[in-house]
């Protein structure tokens, strides 16, 4: 059962634990929860993946449709990311049109994938200026136990890597081909808990932390996207340190993503 | 219902997917699959895949929907954009709104709503892959999720459809039969009393065929009911 508020006692407890480099669930401050990726469970989708990060569960489905390109990029395909904070995932998620929270989440995930050029947009052009593939990334959160940002980016990357361009269905060619993947963006999200910075926060930790910082790296260790969120702040040194920690810690997620490629 | 078609959907009493007219597609039910929801269920029915989650009883929002003498059931049925061949636009459309509404009303009959004045019980159904018969699948999954949440109920409600293809009354229409068949009759019953809590029909049935379809759908519901009880036994042990 989800709590709307965590008591001050719990807040104090989590902050003092973090100061000693410990967490309420026994992890270190820069340690990810257990991650598990499954792919290809949805046959109506062009690609699909389910990611479990601890008790957070996200299902991602890729759909590809044919459309007209934007005027300023007539030779490039398009990509749209949306997240559905399904009400069954969390008592605090309300039914209805997407709220700010869900829009920020979609946009941060979108930027990580887009700016890394994970998919080759020029390769998605069918007829210059007339017809391109439009890639839709739909993320369904089934269970929210914190760190939706990393879980969603991972689910999107896994589902894209599993995607097939539906040439036959749309009469483009007589063979379906795999969606070409250029690189592997991974996002790492940190939270400010008291005076400490922790990686991969659970929902309990998220409810008492004051600020959030997400950074996405490609497999060469170059930064691709970042976002600071919530109303607290980080010091300059904390941000620099977090970026370094991200590069050192994202291996766990990278390995999991590599594991599904076989 | 497209009505008449040249397509041969039944040949020598065997349907396109190899089933007999009175046979259900394969059904798999798992209770308690989500952590945050008070009760949950994952259900696969043929290629349909549905998650259901339940929260409550809790204070009813918005306030004006509260009932002074009982709880209300707020069911919400949604289809994922990737659940169908052409991408479905996210959010509630008129079809989902109708299904949500009739499912809420079906549950208000079995849930002991009089025990929880002013409360709401939220039932969320997410169809992640759709191949005809998703409202029955969603309703069945939601029943198991309600039981998993420990919400006092008079009974669970299984739901199953019957229909007509090539002038033959059949149980549990698949995608092709739904598209090219002549009639579709989704039904939900309370097994212990035999009461009907949900019934819809579109298409064309003679009075005799209607009787047959009702019998067939009822037997389908009873078969499902066993599977639902098994799912709960599997999660909690003991005799259901």
Q: What is the pLDDT averaged over residues A214-218?
A: 93
* pLDDT tens string A62-111: 999 999 999 889 999 999 999 988 888 888 887 766 678 888 999 999 99
Predicted pLDDT of residue A80: 95
pLDDT band of residue A57 (cuts 50, 70, 90) is: very high
Residue from the list B87, B126, B129 with its beta carbon closest to the beta carbon of A88: B126
A138-146: average pLDDT: 95
Q: Catalogue the long-range contacts made by A12-17 (C-beta closer than 8 Å, 24 or more residues apart).
A: A14/A193, A14/A194, A14/A204, A14/A205, A14/A208, A15/A193, A15/A194, A15/A195, A15/A196, A15/A208, A16/A194
Cα–Cα distance list, B91 to A15, A82, B78 (Å): 39, 11, 7
Query: If we measure between CA atoms, which residue out of A143, A108, A137 comes closest to residue A46?
Result: A137
pLDDT at position A262: 65
Contact criterion met (CB below 8 Å) for A32 and A199 = yes
Domain membership flag for residue B2: no
- Beta strands B159-165; B168-171: pairing state: antiparallel
Nearest CA in chain B to A42: B129
Structural domain boundaries enclosing B162:
10-236
**CATH code of the domain containing B163:** 3.30.230.70
pLDDT values of chain B reduced to their tens digit, one per residue, 240 residues:
555 566 788 888 899 999 999 999 999 999 999 999 999 999 999 999 999 999 989 998 888 889 999 999 999 999 999 999 989 988 788 999 999 999 999 999 999 999 999 999 999 999 999 999 999 999 999 999 999 999 999 999 999 999 999 999 999 999 999 998 899 999 999 999 999 999 999 988 999 999 999 999 999 999 999 999 999 999 987 654
In a domain, B34, yes or no: yes
Q: Give domain status of residue B144, yes or no.
A: yes
> Does residue A192 have a pLDDT over 50?
yes
Confidence of residue A9 (pLDDT cuts 50, 70, 90): confident
Contact across the interface for A42 and B90, Cβ inside 8 Å: no
- B119-129 and B72-79 as β-strands: parallel, antiparallel, unpaired? parallel
In a domain, B5, yes or no: no
Of B51, B81, B130, nearest to A142 by CB-CB distance is B51
For residue A126 the two structure tokens come to 């069918």
What per-residue confidence (pLDDT) applies to B1? 54
Domain locations in chain A as residue ranges: 8-259
- Of chain A, the percentage scoring pLDDT greater than 90 comes to 73
- Inter-chain contact B128–A88, Cβ cutoff 8 Å? no
| Residues in chain B closer than 8 A to A86 (CB atoms) | 51, 53, 78, 124, 126
- Is B3 among the domain residues? no
A66 at B interface, C-beta within 8 A: no
What is the C-alpha to C-alpha distance for residues B10 and A249, in angstroms, rounded to an integer?
Answer: 57
Contact A43 B81 (CB under 8 A): no
Mean pLDDT of chain A: 91
Share of chain A above pLDDT 70, in %: 96
Rounded CA-CA distance B47/B178 in Å is 14
- Highest CATH level, class, for A8-259: alpha beta
Total structural domains in chain B?
Answer: 1
Q: How confident is the model at residue A1 (pLDDT cuts 50, 70, 90)?
A: very low
């Amino acid at each position: 059962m989800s709590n709307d508020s965590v008591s001050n006692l719990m807040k104090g407890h989590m902050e003092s634990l973090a100061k000693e480099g410990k967490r309420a669930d026994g992890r270190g401050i820069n340690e990810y929860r257990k991650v598990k990726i499954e792919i290809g469970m949805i046959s109506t989708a062009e690609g699909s993946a389910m990611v479990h990060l601890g008790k957070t569960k996200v299902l991602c489905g890729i759909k590809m449709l044919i459309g007209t390109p934007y005027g300023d990029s007539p030779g490039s395909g398009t990509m749209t990311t949306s997240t559905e904070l399904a009400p069954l995932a969390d008592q605090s998620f309300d039914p209805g049109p997407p709220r700010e929270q869900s829009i920020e989440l979609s946009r941060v995930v979108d930027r990580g994938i887009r700016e890394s050029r994970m998919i080759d947009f020029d390769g998605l052009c069918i007829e210059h200026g007339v017809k391109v593939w439009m890639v839709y990334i739909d993320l369904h959160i089934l269970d929210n136990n914190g760190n939706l940002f990393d879980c969603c980016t991972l689910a999107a990357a896994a589902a894209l890597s599993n995607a097939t361009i539906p040439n036959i269905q749309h009469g483009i060619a007589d063979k379906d081909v795999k969606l070409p993947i250029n690189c592997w963006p991974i996002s790492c999200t940190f939270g400010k808990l008291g005076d400490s910075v922790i990686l991969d926060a659970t929902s309990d930790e998220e409810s008492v932390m004051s600020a959030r910082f997400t950074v996405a790296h490609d497999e060469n260790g170059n930064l691709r996207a970042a976002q600071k969120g919530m109303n607290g702040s980080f010091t300059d040194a904390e941000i620099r340190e977090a970026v370094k920690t991200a590069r050192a810690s994202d291996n766990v997620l990278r390995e999991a993503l590599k594991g599904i490629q076989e | 219902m497209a009505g008449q078609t040249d397509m041969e959907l039944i040949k020598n009493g065997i349907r396109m997917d190899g089933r007999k007219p009175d046979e259900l597609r394969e059904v798999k039910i798992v209770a308690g699959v989500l952590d945050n929801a008070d009760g949950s269920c994952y259900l696969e029915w043929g290629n349909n895949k549905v998650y259901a989650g339940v929260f409550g009883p809790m204070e009813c929002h918005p306030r004006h929907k509260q009932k002074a003498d009982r709880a209300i059931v707020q069911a919400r049925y949604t289809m994922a954009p990737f659940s169908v061949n052409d991408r479905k636009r996210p959010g509630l459309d008129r079809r989902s709104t109708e299904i949500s509404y009739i499912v809420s009303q079906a549950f208000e009959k079995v849930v002991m709503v009089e025990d929880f004045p002013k409360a709401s019980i939220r039932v969320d159904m997410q169809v992640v892959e759709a191949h005809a018969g998703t409202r029955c699948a969603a309703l069945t999954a939601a029943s198991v999720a309600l039981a998993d949440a420990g919400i006092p109920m008079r009974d669970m409600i299984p739901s199953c459809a019957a229909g007509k293809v090539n002038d033959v009354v059949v149980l549990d229409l698949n995608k092709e039969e739904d598209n090219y068949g002549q009639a579709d009759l989704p039904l939900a019953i309370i097994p212990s009393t035999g009461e009907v809590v949900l019934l819809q029909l579109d298409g064309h049935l003679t009075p005799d065929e209607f009787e047959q379809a009702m019998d067939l759908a009822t037997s389908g519901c009873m078969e499902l009911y066993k599977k639902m009880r098994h799912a709960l036994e599997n999660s909690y042990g003991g005799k259901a």
